[in-house]
């Protein structure tokens, strides 16, 4: 029986953020660790969030659309 943690995953949410699940360290471009308080977080991919790299829901008001 394996005791290793499940692999982290990134799942694109239609017309919205990337959902990151699992143990992954988020860092700034300078290598500073970005604190996360939940095991699952939503990462902005519309570019409009005021709390990047996290999604703040602005994509909805902006009408952000994805193809998949």
Residues forming the site for ligand FES (CB under 6 A): 16-17, 44-46, 48-49, 55-59
Q: At 18, which helix (H) or strand (E)?
A: strand 18-21
- Report the alpha-carbon distance of residue 26 to residue 62 in Å, rounded: 26
Nearer to ligand FES, 3 or 44 (CB): 44
Nearer to ligand FES, 16 or 20 (CB): 16
- Report the alpha-carbon distance of residue 22 to residue 66 in Å, rounded: 24
Nearer to ligand FES, 14 or 31 (CB): 14
Alpha helices in the chain (DSSP H): 58-62
The CB-of-41 to ligand FES minimum distance in angstroms stands at 12
């Amino acid at each position: 029986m394996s005791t290793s943690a499940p692999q982290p995953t990134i799942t694109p949410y239609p017309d919205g953020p990337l959902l990151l699940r699992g143990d992954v360290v988020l860092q700034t471009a300078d290598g500073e660790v970005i604190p996360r308080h939940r095991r699952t977080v939503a990462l902005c991919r519309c570019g409009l969030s005021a709390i990047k790299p996290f999604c703040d829901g602005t994509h909805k008001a902006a009408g952000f659309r994805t193809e998949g």
